[in-house]
Amino acid sequence: MSLPVHLVPSLEGIREGDEVVVEGDEAHHAVAVRRLRVGERVVLTDGRGTALTGEVTSTGKRVFTVATLSIGDVIAADPSFTVVQAVPKGDRGELAVEMLTEIGVTRIVPWAASRSVAVWKGDRAEKSLAKWRSTAREAAKQARRAWFPEVTPLASTDEVVALMEGVDLVVVLHEEAHVPLASLELPDSGEVMVVVGPEGGLAEDEIDGFVAAGAVSVRMGGEVLRTSTAGVAAVAALLARTRRWG
């Protein structure tokens, strides 16, 4: 069984034999909820590729200490995957973020599509973004990731187009497209971007703008998936054809 993972702000300068103190909410959850005990082995990560395996030497109410047994850097996944996710209604956004994180997406971009039912504005935008980021963080720990995904602020359609510049392959999921997803030639390395539309579907001007920026409009069979599951299905299908899952 793999070891539990806990996120720490930094592991800079840590060497084998050093002790690392974990405090705050992360420690409280480990000690009070998970019932972490002295002698148990855990993994600490900074979420930016460094991972430490160690043994718990002490615990408190909101603190625990780990003696470092080994520490190293994990190579970032290549090719990387970015998913532009139109903001869905209810808690379906968190479901999408959770699944995308679990399969190894590098970046998640919430998108204010013209036909999105849910609208992020003011305090709601801040709270929703914080919830997506919290969901990604917890899913990354559950998936034993050393690289945690970036969840960007809400993007407009113009900002999504700008993000496409320099990306090796951009695919837009569209039920009326003629190009099958399975027919695409994937890059051996670099970045792949998948754009997922809202419940109301993509607007024609959005599709035209994305294609003009170099994206390929693709379909995934005859079924129409929910916006919360379409992204993970597409990324999984593409990952299966890369060396990452090879």
CATH code (residue 59): 2.40.240.20
Residues 30 and 90 grouped into a single domain: no
Residue 83: count other Cβ atoms within 10 Å of its Cβ: 26
The CATH number of the domain holding residue 112 is 3.40.1280.10
pLDDT surpasses 90 at 154: yes
| Token code pair at residue 5 | 């993972």
Task: Indicate whether 151 belongs to any domain.
Answer: yes
Q: Among residues 51, 56, 80, 83, which one has the least CA distance to residue 67?
A: 56
pLDDT of residue 70: 97
- If asked whether residues 109 and 222 sit together in one domain, one would say yes
Per-residue pLDDT, 246: 78
Q: Which token pair is 50?
A: 């460094």
Are 229 and 189 within one domain?
yes
Residue 53 in this model has a pLDDT that exceeds 90:
yes
Give yes or no: residues 21 and 46 share one domain.
Answer: yes
* Residues 6 or more apart whose Cβ sits within 8 Å of residue 113: 86, 87, 157, 197, 198, 200, 202, 203, 206
Q: Are 45 and 7 in contact (CB under 8 A)?
A: yes
pLDDT at 224 (0 to 100): 86
The number of folded domains in the chain is: 2
- Which whole number is the average pLDDT over 198-208? 94
Domain final residue, candidates 41, 73, 105: 73
**pLDDT-based confidence at 222, cuts 50/70/90?**
confident
**Taking residues 48-77, what's their average pLDDT?**
97
Tokens 């532009």 found at:
84
Same domain as 13, residue 66? yes
Last residue of a domain, one of 54, 73, 92: 73
Is the confidence at residue 79, as pLDDT, over 80? Answer: yes
Q: Which of 46, 73, 100 is the last residue of a domain?
A: 73
Any domain includes 212 = yes
> Does the predicted TM-score (pTM) go above 0.85?
yes
Q: Which residues touch 125 (CB under 8 Å, ≥6 apart)?
A: 154
Kindly state whether residue 244 falls inside one of the protein's structural domains.
Answer: no
158-179 confidence digits (pLDDT tens): 999 999 999 999 999 999 999 9
Q: What is the pLDDT of residue 171?
A: 98
119 with 225, same domain: the answer is yes
Residue 174 lies in a domain: yes
Q: Looking at the domain assignment, is residue 30 inside a domain?
A: yes
d(C-alpha 57, C-alpha 38), whole Å: 5
Considering only CA atoms, which of 36, 42, 28, 203 is closest in space to residue 113?
Answer: 203
User: Does residue 233 sit in the same domain as residue 173?
Assistant: yes
Q: Average per-residue pLDDT in the chain?
A: 96
Domain membership flag for residue 103: yes
Q: Quote the pLDDT of residue 117.
A: 86
Same-domain pairing of 109 and 159: yes
- Asked whether residue 234 is assigned to any structural domain, the reply reads yes
In a domain, 246, yes or no: no
Asked whether residue 84 falls in the same domain as residue 56, the answer is no
Give me the domain span that covers residue 99: 80-239
Residue 125 CA neighbour count, 13 Å, CB half = 11
What average pLDDT does this structure show over 193-199? 96
pLDDT band of residue 221 (cuts 50, 70, 90) is: confident
Same domain, 30 and 123: no
Whole-number pLDDT of residue 50: 98
Supply 48's token pair: 């930016």
Residue 1 has pLDDT above 80, yes or no: no
Q: What is the pLDDT of residues 89-145, one digit of tens each?
A: 989 999 999 999 999 999 999 999 999 988 899 999 999 999 999 999 999 999 999
Average pLDDT of the residues in 66-73: 98
Same domain, 195 and 96: yes
Q: Residue holding tokens 């409280």?
A: 28
Same domain (yes/no): 208, 160: yes
